[in-house]
Structure 1
Amino acid sequence: MSTLPMSVVIKGTGSYTPATIKTNDDLAEFVDTSEEWIFTRTGIKERRFATEGENTSHMGTEASRRALADAGILASDVDLVIVATITPDMPFPSTACLIQTQLGVSNAVCMDIEAACSGFLYIMEVAASLIKTGRYQNALIVGTEKLSSILDWEDRTTCVLFGDGAGAAVLGPSESPQTGLLDFKLGADGANGEVLFMPGGGSAHPATGASVDNRLHFLKMRGKEVFKLAVKVMEQAAKEILEQNGLNSDQLACVIPHQANLRIIELLSSRLKIPMDRFYLNLEKYGNTSAASIPIALDEAFREGRIHSGDLVLLVAFGAGLTWGATLVRCQ
């Protein structure tokens, strides 16, 4: 009987963002807002929007190709595909199956998991757990979103916050327990589900003329409540995962938070007593890309040399559900 892997490592990363850039000034042409209003409240200057024919699966596939190239493996080597998204191409089949087909992956288990902006951390733990069974060698995990498809352009408090994009990583087994994905801390609280949700499109409110007229197929958010909950749960998750591993914040080389709002990140920095220069930020360029947020930032942090071999990195997120999570990574 073969020995089960001691740990799971990140073998490669990749990301993709659409070519179309929309600045705050661009949005101010048809939304009652301004560049100053958006930037001072969010830290966002621009975001990327997919074209009409550029769907969630297509962006996820492109990010996946780049992650496979970075990992130095072929699509045929992939035996597990897990996708996190709240904006699938369609209710079924799964986005993972669509990406499998577009990549030409011939023999892989495929599934989607929905945890909104926390989604990538959720699928990271699921994939790592499955790899540790010894049954899977190359897991492709993808966070991909076309949030422009669910934005209400009559609601300036939400439509200016979000963008489109995708990020991916290839995970695999390792015999070194001191590197890779060291630990996870996930959580959820469904009692706060209605602070951030989209009511239409499911079995409760299927698509009808009335549901469209009532704008049920757009994202809804109670911003002040989301802000308070986001800071609370990310602080809690970060502190708990450090404590249960006998670590302190001074040992972190980099923190990659969900890229939702600069004010949230600044308050988290203050609460954790971690200086802002150790936080990786790209929300100024992309806005909130939900499940794609952390994998895009992780890929860019690697490529820009912000994180190196041996570095201890904290990934931390919150999202609709309410969901949240933290992951500790020791870069190999």
Structure 2
Amino acid sequence: MLIKNVAVSLPSRVVTNEEVVDMIRSHSTAFDGDIDRTARTIKTLLDRSGLVHRRWCDSHESPIDHVAMATRKVLSETYLRPEHIELFIFVGIGRGFLEPGNSHMMASTLGFGNAECFDVVDACMSWTRAMSIVDSLFKTGQYKNAMIVNAEFNMLAGGPLYPSNFALKHHAQVEYTLPSFTIGEAATATLVVAKEPDNFSFAFRGKPDVSDLCTIPIPGYEGYCHPTDRIGKNGEMRFTSFGHELHKNSDELTEVFSRLSVPKKDIDIVFTHASSKAAWHGYGVKAGIDDKMYHIYPDTGNLVSASIPAAISMAKETGKLKRGDRALCWVGSAGMSFNVSSFLF
């Protein structure tokens, strides 16, 4: 499998850490305690993570517009047109439908009328998981190309984050709500073709016993699991994430990295899930690849499943990633799941 092209479309509104803290103050009208103290704590933690600002949709923007821009840009540099695409796969958390798959609705809207469609939902691992699935499908000889898209626009009013998670009630809520304040928005499109079948290598590792650390439960979720006091801490249809605990349970990142079949000296650039620059830099130091890591988190925040493809696109546009470079992707995700993958761009 080869990445023919990849593109990102970022919304126009730039939001700083200070603006986020001001929003929290404004919405936390029923706060029990010293809201200024809590706001200072949040600002300090955001700054320490390496986050400077993130991008959110302004009132005139919609997710489908950004997906359209990303897919148009990807195809504009190739001979392929929407009607040529054989697989159209939607990945990630941001979505407009539980049924049918978002892929069907977007393919219809954007003119990918001949494509087979399905969704992959695996938290921040969704894009990587879809790439692995497509790589396997290509090896069967059934398909020649695929378009993988996401629309991580989770800050829209009434969504799992805003304004609900910005209306804090007490200081202890920061423990399982802080990651909400790191989220950015983006759409990406990745065009892959069935060439060089041995190009990609993937290694995954799971840790489902801590699946309750990061959740967005829907009504009736209790019938589908053994409920714990961590699931739905912020309520149904709201994002709950114990960020510190997630990073404490990420030792498998080192283990899965050890499965890498490519010598570290051959790696030109490393893309990571954009959950925290400080944390990922620490993982990179342990692995001895910190000098090769390409961080977008300070400028975009956490782009959820769009983190890796957005970083690839931005590195390509700035000349940091060139054709023939050996790239490494390193992801830790809610679930929990962990991945290292390698490919020649």
TM-score band w.r.t. shorter chain: 0.7 to 0.9
- Bigger CA drift: 189-198 or 251-260? 189-198
Match of 2:51 in 1: 44
Match of 1:323 in 2: 337
| Whole-angstrom CA distance in 2 between matches of 1:260 and 1:98 | 29
Match of 1:79 in 2: 86
Match of 1:5 in 2: none
Q: Structure 1, unaligned stretches of length 5 or more?
A: 1-7, 207-211
Quote the RMSD (CA, aligned, Å): 2.4
TM-score relative to the length of structure 1? 0.86
1:133-160, Cα deviation, whole Å (9 max, x unpaired): 2221120012331221311112551331
Match of 2:29 in 1: none
Secondary structure class of the residue paired with 2:104: helix
- Mapped contact 1:120–1:291 kept (Cα < 8 A): yes
- 2:182 is the counterpart of 1:161: yes
- Mapped contact 1:56–1:89 kept (Cα < 8 A): no
Secondary structure class of the residue paired with 2:77: helix
Mapping 1:1-332, distance limit 5 Å? 8-31=1-24, 32-34=38-40, 36-51=43-58, 54-148=61-155, 149-151=159-161, 152-153=165-166, 154=168, 156=174, 157-174=178-195, 176=196, 181-201=199-219, 203-204=221-222, 215-230=235-250, 232-240=251-259, 242=260, 245=261, 247-276=262-291, 278-331=292-345
Secondary structure class of the residue paired with 2:113: coil
Offset, 1:39: 3.9
Offset, 1:70: 3.2
1:222-277, Cα deviation, whole Å (9 max, x unpaired): 122101223x222222221x2xx2x321210000001110122111111111133x
| Whole-angstrom CA distance in 1 between matches of 2:298 and 2:265 | 26
Offset, 1:161: 1.2
| Whole-angstrom CA distance in 2 between matches of 1:52 and 1:114 | 27
Secondary structure class of the residue paired with 1:86: coil
Q: Structure 2, unaligned stretches of length 5 or more?
A: 25-37, 225-231
Residues 1:160 and 1:254: Cα distance change in structure 2 (over 3 Å) = same
- Mapped contact 2:211–2:336 kept (Cα < 8 A): yes
The percent of aligned pairs where both chains have the same amino acid is: 22
Residues 1:214 and 1:164: Cα distance change in structure 2 (over 3 Å) = closer
